[in-house]
C-alpha cells in the first residue's frame, strides 16, 4: 500500500480550491433551505414583506452560484484536475446550477404570495407544507451525501422525491375538484397549484443533485427516478 508522501504545495493548493468550491455549494444549500422555509411561511402567514425578502435574496444566490462556477472553471484551467478531483469539480458545477434553480422556485412561491395580495387562502395548507418539508430534507440529505461522498445515501434520496410527487398529485386532484365544482375558485386554486408545482420542481432538482453525487463517487451517470410509463393515475 503506497503511503502518500508529504503533500506538495500544488496539491495543497488544489485541495484548498476544492474546499472553497465545496463551501460554496454548502452555503448555496443553506440559502436554498432558508428560501424554501421563508417562502412557505410567507404563504402560510400571508406575510408579503417576508415574501419580498425572499424575492430580493435571490440576487445573492445568483451571485454565489456564479462565483462558485468561476472557482470551478479556474481550478480546471490552472490545475488540470483528473479522476476524482475532476468528477468533483464537474459535479459541483452542475449542483450549484440545480441549487440556483431551486432558489428560483422558492422565489416563485414568494411571487405568488405577492400576487395573491389580500385574497384568503382557498383552503388550509396541509400537503403543501409537507411537500416543503420533504424538499428541505432532500436538499439537506443530498448535500450531506455530497460532502461525505456517499453514493448509497444519494441513491436513497430518490425515494423522497416519490413522496413529493405523490403529494403533488394529491394537491392537484384536490384543487382540480375545487375548480370543477366552483369555477369561481379557479384563481385561488391556481395560486396554490403553482406553489405546489414549484415545490415539485425543487424535489426533482434535489434528485438531480443526488444523481450528481452518485456520478462523483462512482463515475456512473444514471437517472435515479426514470419516468413511470403508466401515468393514468394522474387523471
Partner 1 sequence: MDANGRPKFEVEDLDFFYGPVRALRQVSIRIRRRKITALIGPSGCGKSTFLRCLNRMNDTIAGTRVAGRVLLEAEDIYDPEADVVELRRRVGMVFQKPNPFPQSVFDNVAFGPRVLGLASGRGELEELVEKSLRRAALWDELGGRGEEPAMSLSLGEQQRLCIARVLAVEPEVILMDEPCSALDPIATLKIEDLMRALSQDYTIVIVTHNMQQAARVSDFTAMMMLDESRSGTIIEFDQTRKIFTLPADQRTEDYITGRYG
Segment interacting with partner 1, rule: CB under 8 A, options 8-16, 54-62, 179-187, 190-198: 8-16
Nearest to 125 by CA among 163, 165, 171: 171
3-state secondary structure labels for all residues of 65-96: HHHHHHHHHHHHHHHCCCHHHHHHHHHHHHHH
Query: Should residue 7 be labelled a site residue for partner 1 when binding is judged by CB under 8 A?
Result: yes
Query: Should residue 4 be labelled a site residue for partner 1 when binding is judged by CB under 8 A?
Result: yes
Provide DSSP, 107-152. HHHHHHHHHHTTPPPSS--SHHHHHHHHHHHHHHHHHHHHHHT-HH
| Distance in angstroms (rounded) separating the CA atoms of residues 24 and 19 | 9
Alpha-carbon radius of gyration of the chain: 20
Q: 184 to 223, contacts with partner 1 by CB under 8 A?
A: 219
Segment interacting with partner 1, rule: CB under 8 A, options 19-27, 82-90, 126-134, 202-210: 82-90
- Considering only 81, 100, 201, 210, the residue that binds partner 1 (CB under 8 A) is 81
Query: Should residue 14 be labelled a site residue for partner 1 when binding is judged by CB under 8 A?
Result: yes
Segment interacting with partner 1, rule: CB under 8 A, options 53-61, 75-83, 165-173, 182-190: 75-83
Segment interacting with partner 1, rule: CB under 8 A, options 38-46, 81-89, 132-140, 156-164: 81-89
Q: CB nearer to partner 1: give 198 or 217.
A: 217
Q: Which residues contact 90 (CB under 8 A, 6 or more apart)?
A: 72, 216
Residues in touch with partner 1 (CB under 8 A): 2, 4-5, 7-8, 10-11, 14, 80-87, 219
Amino acid at each position: 500500500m503506497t503511503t502518500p508522501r508529504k503533500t506538495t504545495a500544488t496539491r495543497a493548493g488544489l485541495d484548498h480550491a476544492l474546499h472553497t468550491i465545496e463551501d460554496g455549494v454548502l452555503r448555496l444549500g443553506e440559502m436554498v433551505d432558508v428560501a424554501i422555509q421563508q417562502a412557505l411561511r410567507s404563504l402560510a402567514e400571508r406575510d408579503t414583506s417576508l415574501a419580498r425578502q425572499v424575492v430580493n435574496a435571490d440576487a445573492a444566490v445568483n451571485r454565489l452560484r456564479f462565483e462558485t462556477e468561476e472557482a470551478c472553471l479556474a481550478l480546471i484551467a490552472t490545475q488540470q484536475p483528473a479522476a476524482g478531483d475532476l468528477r468533483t469539480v464537474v459535479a459541483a458545477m452542475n449542483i450549484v446550477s440545480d441549487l440556483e434553480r431551486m432558489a428560483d422556485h422558492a422565489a416563485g412561491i414568494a411571487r405568488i404570495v405577492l400576487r395573491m395580495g389580500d385574497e384568503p387562502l382557498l383552503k388550509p395548507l396541509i400537503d403543501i407544507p409537507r411537500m416543503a418539508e420533504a424538499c428541505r430534507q432532500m436538499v439537506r440529505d443530498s448535500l450531506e451525501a455530497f460532502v461525505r461522498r456517499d453514493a448509497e445515501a444519494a441513491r436513497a434520496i430518490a425515494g423522497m422525491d416519490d413522496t413529493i410527487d405523490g403529494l403533488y398529485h394529491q394537491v392537484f386532484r384536490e384543487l382540480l375538484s375545487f375548480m370543477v365544482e366552483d369555477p369561481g375558485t379557479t384563481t385561488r386554486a391556481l395560486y396554490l397549484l403553482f406553489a405546489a408545482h414549484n415545490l415539485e420542481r425543487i424535489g426533482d432538482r434535489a434528485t438531480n443533485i443526488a444523481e450528481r453525487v452518485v456520478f462523483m463517487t462512482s463515475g456512473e451517470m444514471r437517472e435515479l427516478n426514470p419516468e413511470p410509463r403508466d401515468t393514468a393515475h394522474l387523471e
